[in-house]
Amino acid sequence: MNVLNTAWSLFPALIAIVLALITKEVYSSLFIGILVGGVLYSGFSLSAVLEHVFVDGMVGQLSDSWNVGILVFLVVLGAMVMLMNRAGGSAAFGRWSVEHVKTKVGAQLATIVLGVLIFIDDYFNCLTVGSVMRPLTDKHGISRQKLAYLIDATAAPVCIIAPISSWAAAVTGSVDGVNGLELFIKAIPYNFYAILTIVMMLVLAFGKLDYGPMKLAELSGKLSKADDPMPQSAMTGAEDQPNPPVSPKGKVIHLVLPIIVLIISCVIGMIYTGGYFDGASFSEAFADSDASVGLMYGSVVALVLTIIFYLCTKVLSFKECMNALPEGFKSMVPAILILTFAWTLKSMTGSLGSDVFVENFVQGFADNTAIMSLLPAIVFLIACVISFATGTSWGTFGILIPIAAKVFSNDISSPMMVMAVAACMAGAVCGDHCSPISDTTIMASAGAQCEHISHVNTQLPYALTVAAVSFVSYIIAGFIRNAAISLIIGIVLMAGTLFIIRSATAGKTAKQA
Average pLDDT along the chain: 82
CA atoms of 10 and 175, how far apart (whole Å)? 24
Contacts of 277 by beta carbon, 8 Å cutoff, 6+ apart: 271
Expressed as residue numbers, the domain containing 263 is 65-163+213-332
For the cut 90, the answer to whether the pLDDT of residue 490 exceeds it is: yes
**Are the C-beta atoms of residues 377 and 471 closer than 8 Å to each other?**
yes
The total number of structural domains in the chain stands at 1
Number of neighbours of residue 206 by Cβ within 10 angstroms: 11
**What angle, 0 to 180 degrees and rounded to 10, lies between the N-to-C axes of helices 439-448 and 122-139?**
30
Q: Helix count (H) and strand count (E) of the chain? A: 26, 0
Residue among 112, 84, 8, 51 nearest 328 (CA): 84
| Residue 224 placed within a domain | yes
**Are the C-beta atoms of residues 258 and 80 closer than 8 Å to each other?**
yes
| Residue 13 placed within a domain | no
Give the DSSP letter string of 25-48.
-HHHHHHHHHHHHHHHHHTT-HHH
For the cut 50, the answer to whether the pLDDT of residue 350 exceeds it is: yes
Number of neighbours of residue 510 by Cβ within 10 angstroms: 8
Residue among 402, 389, 403 nearest 350 (CA): 389
CA atoms of 424 and 404, how far apart (whole Å)? 8
| Residue 457 placed within a domain | no
For the cut 80, the answer to whether the pLDDT of residue 427 exceeds it is: yes
- 3-state secondary structure at position 290: coil
Q: What pLDDT is stored for residue 226 in this prediction?
A: 43
Query: Which range, of 26-40, 154-168, 463-477, averages the lowest pLDDT?
Result: 154-168
Mean pLDDT, range 245-252, rounded to an integer: 86
CA atoms of 212 and 259, how far apart (whole Å)? 35
| Residue 194 placed within a domain | no
| Residue 60 placed within a domain | no
* Distances 128 to 22, 90, 279 between C-alpha atoms, Å: 30, 11, 32
Contacts of 180 by beta carbon, 8 Å cutoff, 6+ apart: 171, 172, 173, 174, 287
Number of neighbours of residue 369 by Cβ within 10 angstroms: 8
Q: What pLDDT is stored for residue 176 in this prediction?
A: 61
CA atoms of 35 and 39, how far apart (whole Å)? 6
| Residue 232 placed within a domain | yes
| Residue 100 placed within a domain | yes
CA atoms of 160 and 378, how far apart (whole Å)? 20
Residue type, 317: S
Q: What pLDDT is stored for residue 227 in this prediction?
A: 45
Query: Which range, of 121-130, 143-152, 263-272, 276-285, averages the lowest pLDDT?
Result: 121-130
Q: What pLDDT is stored for residue 201 in this prediction?
A: 94
Q: What pLDDT is stored for residue 64 in this prediction?
A: 87
pTM: 0.70
Give the DSSP letter string of 354-368.
HHHHHHHHHHHHHT-
| Residue 327 placed within a domain | yes
